[in-house]
Amino acid sequence: MSLLDAVSNSTSGLSAQAFALNNLSGNIANSTTAGFKSTETHFADMLAQTEAGSQPAGGVSLSTRTSLQLQGTVTTTGVATNLAISGDGYFVVRANAGSASSPSFNGQTGYTRRGDFAPDANGYLVNGAGFYLFAGPSAGAPVRVATGTDAPASLAVSSTGALTATQADGTTRSLGTMTLAQFDGPENLTPLDGGTYLATDRSGSAFYGLAGSRITSGAVEQSNASIADQFSKMIETQQAYSANTKVLNAANEMLQDALTMYV
């Protein structure tokens, strides 16, 4: 390997490790965010073609993958409007394209596992990222509950998706039928923001149904990013970054020495 190869490879390694550190930082920052799915960084050696046909190492390429199919722990919150999915599937959500007093939902349909829903001033259920919950793809408006003294004491979702609010006095009110979005290739969903994803050609179009999954009210699915695991990976990544820095510095010093010989 030539000195220029060493410089090129170590620079490639530094860039890749910096990218990995950025993903790890995001995972750590969201380790307590409901429904968050960690982002994993994958490395692959690149081979440099030469005229002689040999293939010395030519740096590293990287790719990222979100661990969408790794279930987080379902934790009871005591908040009636919080919802958690056990099993496959995603809540159907949309962003408000209008104002708080006059909401409009003519934008893209999103899919999320983030179920920390709470009623806004109009009683519409909104999660912590600001996305509104829809019972299904054909629903004309978000799920809406009573507020103030009439706020539900609990919500219940039956095995068939029937969403029912129970008031403090024991009376019940139907809020529609909940369904979940399912995908043939969920690992290929593309991230939007706030733990929300959009369908892609590779993920396939959404099809709907509980498909054996269960929705629990008064609970949320926690982040699947283990803080201990992420810090362990961060230490390894920092060490790899430091090693690439040493190689780059050594190659630079050798290049300087070589140049000095010809001056």
Closest listed residue to residue 63, CA positions, set 20, 105, 97, 32:
20
Residue 31 sits in the same domain as residue 79:
no
3-class secondary structure, 53: coil
> How far, in Å, CA of 150 to CA of 225, rounded?
37
**Domain carrying residue 117:** 74-221
One domain for residues 203 and 242 = no
Q: Mark whether 176 and 245 lie in a shared domain.
A: no
Give the C-alpha separation, 8 to 181, whole Å: 45
What amino acid occupies position 248?
L
| Residue from 60, 66, 61, 48 nearest 2 by CA | 48
Strand partners, 157: 163
For the chain, the domain total comes to: 2
Rounded to an integer, what distance in angstroms lies between the CA atom of residue 211 and that of residue 159? 10
Spatial distance between the Cα atoms of 139 and 91, rounded to a whole number of angstroms: 13
- Do residues 196 and 79 share a domain? yes
105 and 192 inside one domain: yes
Q: How far apart are CA 3 and CA 5, in angstroms?
A: 5
From first to last of its 263 residues, the chain has per-residue pLDDT tens of 566 666 667 777 777 788 888 888 888 888 888 888 888 887 765 555 544 554 445 566 666 777 887 889 999 998 999 999 999 999 999 999 988 888 899 889 999 999 999 999 899 999 999 999 999 888 889 999 988 888 888 999 998 899 999 988 888 999 989 999 999 999 899 988 888 999 999 999 999 999 999 999 999 999 888 888 878 888 888 887 788 787 778 777 777 777 787 76
Alpha-carbon span 233 to 239, nearest angstrom: 10
Q: Which residues are CB-contacts of 20 (< 8 A; sequence separation ≥ 6)?
A: 41, 43, 62, 237
